[in-house]
Amino acid sequence: MKKIIAACLSVLVGAFGYTLVETSIDTRVSNLEAECSSLQGVVSSLAELHERDGVIQIPDAYMTTNPNPTITMPTIIMPTDKEPAITEPAITEPAITEPAITEPAITEPASTKPSVATTTKPTTNPDMGGGNTVQTNPDGSKDIVKPDGSIALSYSYSAADDYFYVDDSSWEENFAFNRLYDMDAVYTVMYLDTFHVYYNHGGYDRMIQFWKGQYGLLFLGGEIGLYYKDPSGTTSHYNCADEDMEIFMQMTVYREGYGELFTRPYASHWWTTAFVPDKLKKFNDRTELTMVAKLTFKTEEERAKFCEGLEKVTDIDGNRFRYVTNISKNNSEQYTYNDTTGDLVWRYLDEERVTPLKTTTIAP
C-alpha cells in the first residue's frame, strides 16, 4: 500500500515540476521578445539620424521615448580635398651587366722600310767606266748608275738559280742592235767575245748574236739576241725581233776550273741573258768561259738557214764551227741539229778580235 502511495506522489511531484519549468520558460521567451522589439525600435530610430552642418540630429520622437539614450557614435573620417597619396611601388630595374667586350689586340705589323742602298758617290776610277756605280734595289735587282745619276742598266735577280739577268722587255729593246754598241763596250769596262750569224728568212734579213765575257768589274755572263731588218734598207741597223719572231733559247756558261756558272732556262725570247758576280783572270782572254746554247726555230727551214750562216763565221785565229752528231762542252766550236733545234758549243771564237790570243791584258 505504501509503495502505491509513494508512486502516486512521485508522479504528482513530476507533473508539478514540469509545470513550473514550462511557466518559467514562457516568461523568459516573452521578455526576450520585448527586448527584441525594443532593439528594433532603436535600430529604426538610428536609421533616421542625419547630419546637418556637421552636427548629428536626433529625432524628437526618439528623445521622447528614450530621454537618456546611450549612443556610441562611430568614428567618422571626414573626406578631404586632397587626393590620397598614391605610393607607387618602387620599381627596381634589374641591373643589366653588359658583357665586357674585349677587342682583340691588333698587332700592327712592324713597318720595316726596305733598305734601299743609296747610290755610291761617283768616282773617277777608270776601272768603273768613268765613274759608273752600282745601286742595289729593295727587290734585289741592281742598277748601273751613271755619274749624272741616270740609270744605265737594270738587273733582276733569280734567287732560285742565283744569277742576275736583264728582262727582254728592257731598255735594249728600244735601242735594238747597232755595231757601234760592241765597239763602245770596252769604254764601259765590258770585255766580251762575240759573233754574229746572218741568214734570210720570211722576207727579212735576220741576225743572231752571241756574247760572253766580263761585264764591268762586277759580273761574268753571256747573252743571245735575235734581230731583223728590211733587206732593201741601206742601213746596218737591226731591230729587235717581234714577238711572233721569237724563238726558244737556252744558255749555260761554264768557267774553266769552276764548273757551271749558270743556266738560263729554255724559254721563248728575242734576247736571253744571265750574269754572276765574278771577274776574269785576264780581261783579254775570255776563253775561260764556254757557252753551250740550244735554239729551237719555228720551222726546219729557218733552222737550216741558221746552220748555214753559223758555218761561215770565223775570226782572226781561224776558229770556226763544225758539224758533229753529238756535242760535248769539252769540245768547243761544234754544233749539231735535230729537226727545228740547233745546239752549239762555243769557247774560242771571237769575231771582233783584232789581235791573236797570245796578246793578253791582266785584269787589275
The DSSP annotation for 191-213 comes to: EEEEEEEEEEETTEEEEEEEEEE
Cβ-contact 207, 228 below 8 angstroms: yes
Model-level pTM?
A: 0.58
- Tell me whether residue 249 is in a domain: yes
Task: Flag whether 175 is in a domain.
Answer: yes
Let me know if residue 92 belongs to a domain: no
| The pLDDT value given to residue 207 | 97
Question: Does any domain span residue 93?
Answer: no
- Same domain for 285 and 190, yes or no, is yes
Model pLDDT, residue 249: 98
* Pure H helices in the chain: 2-47, 60-65, 172-175, 179-184, 300-311
CB 47 within 8 A of CB 58: no
**Residue ranges in the chain whose pLDDT is less than 70:** 1-25, 28-29, 35-36, 38-132, 134, 139-144, 151-154, 168-188, 358-364
Q: How far apart are CA 50 and CA 53, in angstroms?
A: 10
Same domain (yes/no): 49, 131: no
Examine the domain organization and report whether 186 and 302 are in the same domain. yes
Within a domain: 340: yes
Whether residues 253 and 137 share a domain: the answer is no
Which of 279, 108, 117, 118 lies closest to 189 in space, CA to CA? 279
Domain range for residue 302? 161-346
Q: Output the CA–CA distances (angstroms, integers) from residue 303 to 197, 198, 200, 249, 325, in the order listed.
A: 12, 12, 11, 13, 16
Domain membership of residue 87 (yes or no) is no
pLDDT at 215: 87
Q: Is residue 314 part of a domain?
A: yes
Give the per-residue pLDDT at 114.
41
Sign of CA dihedral 30, 31, 32, 37: positive
Establish if 352 belongs to a structural domain. Answer: no
Q: How many domains does the chain fold into?
A: 3
Question: Do 226 and 181 fall within a single domain?
Answer: yes
Single out the residue in 151, 178, 198 at which a domain terminates. Answer: 151
State phi, psi for 40 to the nearest 5 degrees.
Answer: -65, -35
- Is 192 found in the same domain as 139? no
Are 122 and 269 part of one and the same domain? no
Check residue 314 and give its pLDDT: 96
Q: CB within 8 A of 75, min separation 6: which ones?
A: none
Count of alpha carbons within 13 Å of 199, Cβ hemisphere only? Answer: 20
Residues 237 and 120 in one domain: no
Would you say 162 and 277 are in contact if contact means Cβ atoms under 8 Å apart? Answer: no
Q: What's the pLDDT score for residue 43? A: 53
Q: What is the pLDDT of residue 304?
A: 98
